Chains A and B, each alone.
Chain A
Amino acid sequence: DGGITQSPKYLFRKEGQNVTLSCEQNLNHDAMYWYRQDPGQGLRLIYYSQIVNDFQKGDIAEGYSVSREKKESFPLTVTSAQKNPTAFYLCASSTGTGVSYEQYFGPGTRLTVT
């Protein structure tokens, strides 16, 4: 059945290592998004992509990188330049790229960096 998958659910890394979070969708959505959520806070946009091979920075892109080589996939790399990488990361996709659309979310990845 259709949906958004993120893997892994929990991820542990040592400081100084890059780590890549997976996001796959089989909803045939054009647009995909990455958000970060810290404890007790709302969501903040890291990157978004409205079409394959194109992506834009969100509000907190520093220390992160993305790629969009396939419509179904939008992996996020948390680089060693990200000062506080420990957080809950949520991927989303939407039906369109216009201003009236609905976003759907994956189950999230909890990243802990020590």
Chain B
Amino acid sequence: GIQVEQSPPDLILQEGANSTLRCNFSDSVNNLQWFHQNPWGQLINLFYIPSGTKQNGRLSATTVATERYSLLYISSSQTTDSGVYFCAVTSNYQLIWGAGTKLIIKP
């Protein structure tokens, strides 16, 4: 089945820094989602991005489906950005999840 790999597994940054999170997948996919899981466990949809580039405030994402990767950019990080960022791709009506990138933003 499809494998989803995220990197880096952990990232510690100072407030105000920029970061890039990567998601690689092993086969062609029909969609890709990025989620942020906050410290209370709530999963928040960030982007639904099977291809192309999208932006939402300080966050943006790019998926290059032909090369099987997606990038999530966070600019001017804030402490509220801390948490775990997951990417997930669709295969056979199921979401296949990466292991996540744990992001800690220090004040």
Contact = CB atoms under 8 A, between A and B. Distances in A.
Interface of A: 31, 33, 37, 41-45, 48, 50, 58, 88, 90, 97, 99-105, 107-108, 110
Most buried by B among A37, A44, A102, A103: A103
Nearest to A104: B45
Nearest to A58: B94
Interface in B29-78: 30-31, 33, 35, 40-43, 45, 48, 50
A43 B33 contact: no
A103 B100 contact: no
A43 B43 CA distance: 11
B87 to A, nearest CB: 10
B95 to A, nearest CB: 6
B42 A108 contact: yes
Chain B, interface residues (CB within 8 Å), range: 20 to 34
B42 A45 contact: no
A90 B40 CA distance: 12
A30 to B, nearest CB: 11
Contacts of A58: 94
Contacts of A44: 97
Interface string B83-94: 000101010011
